[in-house]
Amino acid sequence: MLTEERWRLILDLLDREKAVTVPELEQALDASPSTIRRDLNQLHKAGKLIKVHGGATSLDSRYMVQELSMAEKKTLHYEEKQAIGRYAAGLISPDDFVYIDSGTTAEALADAITETGAVYMTNSVMIAMKLAVKGCRVFLPEGEMKSRTEAIVGGLAADSIKKYHFTIGFWGTNGVDEKAGFTTPEVNEALVKQVSMRQAAQRYVLCDRSKFSVISPVSFGVFESATIVTDRIPDKKYQKYEHIVEVMK
């Protein structure tokens, strides 16, 4: 079977089922696991589907249960994340005590930061290292590091964050929905997001347009609890909200 034909069949199956596993594709396409994984990687890079551990989900899947790795996320919507990060970095002033959540869009923010006079706290080990290289004063919470997202999560991290009061904070999210609010796949990560948002005077959720109308299992904030910074609003139903900022409009 030609590569193009396999890709068409994979996308047709995803269009019907919204999610598929590697074993299901092996059986449907009579192809080896290595061939299937190579196809999924290429289709993911082309923006045709979302590769997850053990399979793939469609781009229009409303419910997102699987957590992508940082490496997988970095290949998606790169230019949009950079634009969002640059805008967010411009909101930071020298007197701010800034909280930065983990995630690839938050990393784009860290890359764009030029304000070294502010003080920073983050639960992302990678972001802490990026800020330290810039000469920033940066704090990390206590707790367990989740290898898949490179984030410090859990009750210990949440408890250590409670003692701080941030002037401004920035969070990533796996999903944004009018009713479900901001959501993420994992409860320990949601706890840290929820607590840190409570401790911030100004709150910004950074997400590209693919996150809208997507729901992950655990909510960590209501829809209007933070200003949403995105590249473009993907759906007319969100245009009525004044707390959404489009940076590539």
For residue 125, the model assigns a pLDDT of: 95
pLDDT for position 56: 80
Spatial separation of the C-alpha atoms in residues 44 and 30, rounded to whole Å: 21
Residue 136's pLDDT is 98
Question: Tokens at residue 71, please?
Answer: 């490496």
Give the start-to-end residue ranges of the domains of the chain. Answer: 3-61, 78-246
- Supply the pLDDT for residue 217: 84
Please give the distance of CA 66 from its chain centroid, rounded to a whole number.
Answer: 12
- Spell 70-93 as b/e; 16+ CB within 10 A means b: bebbeebbeebbbbbbebbbebbe
- Name the fold adopted by 3-61: Arc Repressor Mutant, subunit A (1.10.10)
Give the mean pLDDT per block of 10 residues along the chain (249 residues).
Answer: 89 82 90 93 85 72 56 73 98 98 96 98 97 98 88 95 98 92 91 98 96 88 97 91 95
Specify whether domain 78-246 bears CATH 3.90.1150.10: no
d(CA 7, CA 94): 50
DSSP assignment string, the chain: --HHHHHHHHHHHHHHHSEEEHHHHHHHHT--HHHHHHHHHHHHHTTSSEEETTEEE-TT-SB--SPPPHHHHHTSSHHHHHHHHHHHHTT--TT-EEEE--SHHHHHHHHH----SSEEEESBHHHHHHHHHTT-EEE--SSEEETTTTEEESHHHHHHHTT--EEEEEE--SEEETTTEEEES-HHHHHHHHHHHHTEEEEEEE--GGGBT-B-SEEEE-TTSSEEEES---SGGGTT-TTEEES--
